[in-house]
Amino acid sequence: MIPLSPFKLLDPYTREDQAIFFGRSAEVDRLYELVNESRLILVYGASGVGKTSLVQCGLANRFNDTDWFEVYVRRRNNINRSLRRVIKRHALMPVPSGSTLETAVDSLFLDYLKPIYFVFDQFEEVYILGTNSERKRFYKYIARLLDQGEKRQLPLRIILIMREEYIARLYDFERYLPKVFDNRLRVESMNTSNIRQVIRGSCEQFGIKLRRPVQTANRIISRLTDTRRGIQLSYLQIYLDKLFRVYREQHANGQVIFSPDLVDRVGSIGDILVEFMEEQQHIIQARMKSRFGISDPDVISKIMDQFATLEGTRRSLNRMDIRMLGYSDAAVAYCISELVDSRLLRVDEGSYELSHDKLAEKIAETRDIQSRDLMRIQGLIRPKLAMYQERKVLFSEEELFYIRPYLQHFSLQPGFSELYNRSEQERRKEKYRLQQLNKENEYHRRETEKKNRQIEIINRVLYSNIWRSDQDYHKALQFALEAWRMSSVDGRPSLEIKQALISAYYAADENNAINYEREIRVGSIIRYIKLAPDESLMFVATASHDALLYNLSGKLIQKIPYEHVSVATFSPDSQWLLLATTDGKLFRINREGSTVETHQLDLRAIRQLVFLPAGNHFLLGAKNFIGRYDLNGKLIKKFILPEVIKEHDDIKQIVLAPDASYFVAISVYGHDAFCFSLQDDHQWILKAHTDKITAVDIAHDGDHLATVSADKHLIIWSRGGEVQEDIVAHGQTVISVQFSSDDRKILTASKDNTAKFWTIYPLEAKVLKGHEDDIVKAMFTPRDDEILTISNDHTARLWYTDGSHRLLSGHQGRISDAHALQHHGELITASSDQTIKFWNAGSTRIVRLDGHGPPGISEATFSPDGRLIVTVGLDGQVLFWNLGGRQYGLALEHPQAVDKAFFDPGGELLYTLGRDKILRAWTLQGEMVWSIGDKRMMINKARLAADGRFLFTLDTTQQMHIWDRDRKKVRTFPTHQAKVYRFDRSSTRDLLLTASKDNTAALWNYQGQLTTRLEGHRSNVHSAYFNQDGTRIITASADRTARIWDLAGHCQIVLGDHPRSVSRAFFIPGSSRYLTQSMGYDIRLWDEQGRLLRVLDGHSGHVNHISFSADGQYILSAANDESIILWDSHGEIIKRFQQHHAQVNGAFFSPDGRHFVSVDAAGKAISWLSPEGIQNAVSL
Last residue of one domain, picked from the residues 242, 266, 290 = 266
203-217, 311-325, 847-861, range with the lowest pLDDT: 311-325
Last residue of one domain, picked from the residues 164, 189, 214 = 189
With cut-offs at 50, 70 and 90, classify the pLDDT of residue 328. Answer: confident
Provide the domain count of the chain: 3
What's the CA gap between 620 and 635, in Å, rounded? Answer: 10
Write a three-state SS string for 1080-1124: CCCEEEECCCCCEEEECCCCCCCEEEEEECCCCCEEEEEECCCCE
Q: pLDDT value at position 269?
A: 60
Whether 87 is in a domain gets the answer yes
Whether 769 is in a domain gets the answer no
Q: How many residues does the chain have?
A: 1180
Instruction: Let me know whether 218 and 183 are in one domain.
Output: no
Average pLDDT over the chain reads: 89
With cut-offs at 50, 70 and 90, classify the pLDDT of residue 303. Answer: confident
Last residue of one domain, picked from the residues 144, 172, 189 = 189
91-100 tens-digit pLDDT: 998 888 888 8
Whether 245 is in a domain gets the answer yes
- Is 383 buried (19+), middle (13-18) or exposed (0-12) by CB count in 10 A? middle
In this structure, are strands 980-985 and 625-630 parallel, antiparallel, or unpaired? unpaired
- Closest-CA residue to 451 (of 417, 489, 418): 489
Q: pLDDT value at position 229?
A: 58
Instruction: Let me know whether 29 and 62 are in one domain.
Output: yes
- Taking CA atoms, 1172 is separated from 523, 533, 1004, 1109, in Å, by 29, 30, 39, 11
Instruction: Let me know whether 198 and 118 are in one domain.
Output: no
What's the CA gap between 50 and 685, in Å, rounded? Answer: 108
Kindly state the DSSP code that residue 307 receives in the 8-state scheme.
T
- Please name the residue ranges forming H helices in 548-622: none
What's the CA gap between 931 and 439, in Å, rounded? Answer: 65
Instruction: Let me know whether 351 and 242 are in one domain.
Output: no
Q: Summarize the confidence of residues 331-355 as an average pLDDT.
A: 83
Instruction: Let me know whether 181 and 36 are in one domain.
Output: yes
Confirm if 530 and 536 have CB atoms less than 8 A apart.
no
Instruction: Let me know whether 134 and 247 are in one domain.
Output: no
Q: Summarize the confidence of residues 591-613 as an average pLDDT.
A: 91
Instruction: Let me know whether 178 and 247 are in one domain.
Output: no
Residue 1178 has pLDDT above 70, yes or no: no
Instruction: Let me know whether 260 and 159 are in one domain.
Output: no
- Closest-CA residue to 784 (of 834, 746, 740): 740
Beta bridge partners of 1156: 1149, 1168
- Taking CA atoms, 48 is separated from 41, 171, 217, 283, 307, in Å, by 20, 24, 21, 25, 17
B/e letters for 358-376, b = 16+ CB within 10 Å, e = fewer, are bbbbbbbeebeeeeebbbe
Confirm if 1086 and 1075 have CB atoms less than 8 A apart.
yes
The amino acid at 1046: D
Residue 118 has pLDDT above 60, yes or no: yes
Q: Summarize the confidence of residues 142-158 as an average pLDDT.
A: 88
628-677 tens-digit pLDDT: 999 988 999 999 888 767 666 889 999 999 999 999 999 998 999 999 99
Write a three-state SS string for 54-74: HHHHHHHHHCCHHHCEEEEEC
What's the CA gap between 1053 and 426, in Å, rounded? Answer: 57
Whether 1119 is in a domain gets the answer no
Q: pLDDT value at position 564?
A: 82
Q: pLDDT value at position 173?
A: 86
Q: pLDDT value at position 890?
A: 77
More confident residue, 887 or 933: 933
Whether 121 is in a domain gets the answer yes
Q: Summarize the confidence of residues 476-487 as an average pLDDT.
A: 87
Residue 1132 has pLDDT above 90, yes or no: yes
With cut-offs at 50, 70 and 90, classify the pLDDT of residue 226. Answer: low
Whether 728 is in a domain gets the answer no
Instruction: Let me know whether 104 and 37 are in one domain.
Output: yes
Residue 807 has pLDDT above 60, yes or no: yes
Q: pLDDT value at position 844?
A: 47
- Please name the residue ranges forming H helices in 252-318: 260-266, 272-292, 299-305
CATH of the domain at 155: 3.40.50.300
Confirm if 360 and 307 have CB atoms less than 8 A apart.
yes
Whether 353 is in a domain gets the answer yes
Give the structural domain span for 311: 270-366
325-334, 489-498, 957-966, 1036-1045, range with the lowest pLDDT: 325-334
CATH of the domain at 309: 1.10.10
1049-1067 tens-digit pLDDT: 999 999 998 999 999 999 9
Residues 6+ apart with CB under 8 A from 1098: 1117, 1125, 1127, 1133, 1136
Instruction: Let me know whether 30 and 176 are in one domain.
Output: yes
Whether 198 is in a domain gets the answer yes
Instruction: Let me know whether 143 and 258 are in one domain.
Output: no
- Closest-CA residue to 378 (of 333, 319, 315, 299): 315
Residue 995 has pLDDT above 60, yes or no: yes
Confirm if 605 and 558 have CB atoms less than 8 A apart.
no
Q: pLDDT value at position 230?
A: 65
Residues 6+ apart with CB under 8 A from 326: none
Instruction: Let me know whether 137 and 281 are in one domain.
Output: no
Residues 6+ apart with CB under 8 A from 115: 63, 67, 68, 69, 155, 156, 157
With cut-offs at 50, 70 and 90, classify the pLDDT of residue 843. Answer: very low
- Closest-CA residue to 172 (of 216, 214, 207, 130): 130
Q: pLDDT value at position 1119?
A: 96
Q: pLDDT value at position 225?
A: 66
- Taking CA atoms, 41 is separated from 30, 115, 181, 440, 825, in Å, by 11, 15, 8, 59, 93
Around 623, how many Cα atoms within 13 Å sit in the side-chain half-sphere? 11
